[in-house]
Structure 1
Amino acid sequence: MVKKLSPKKVILISPSPVNEYAVNTPRKNAALYQYAHAVEQVSLETGSYFINLWTIMAAKEQSKVLKHDGVHFNEKGYRILSEAVITKINNISSTKGRKKIAK
């Protein structure tokens, strides 16, 4: 899919950790970590951009960024995600001599 699009127009984002102890959470962090690494490898192989959401969210206290289901982000989690995306786009834009989209 990345090859069909221009890699320089694609930002791949890794999954983030989940709270494995939350109610009805079938996802396991070990598998998600491997998937995050695979996404990073695809970005390196294709020359596309990459946001390591795993690392960003792993540094946060899970209960402060996830809803009670242990998987979905709460308001703070989505704010962190959107800031990471905006930062990446602004970094790309600044290297291309374009205006930043947000502060």
Structure 2
Amino acid sequence: VYDAVCIEDLNMQGMSQSLNFGKSVYDNGWGIFTSLLDYKLSEQGKKLIKIDKWYPSSKTCSCCGKVKEELSLSERMYQCECGFICDRDVNAARNIKEQGMLVLA
């Protein structure tokens, strides 16, 4: 049982325009999902924590905290100088959770 859910505050309109994803990004219903999630959590007295879209969750090592200067979208594994290796999405999720915990503290 959790008291909060942490997500990135994504700008889907900006992503669809800048990354050439077009309509596919718009059609995913992210805004509806986050609204419903917030509604359901608040019904239970729980919080939805949105982490700033500019926080470098994918580029930050969830082990040592070092931020990579460059990380292309084609790099699916995150590898840090400290020796930490992880799927980039799992790494980002860990960082988002950590930022959410700081908000709750």
Pairwise TM-score range, normalised by the shorter structure: 0.3 to 0.5
Q: Taking structure 1 as the reference length, what is the TM-score of the superposition?
A: 0.42
**Bigger share in helix:** 1
**Bigger share in strand:** 2
Q: Taking structure 2 as the reference length, what is the TM-score of the superposition?
A: 0.41
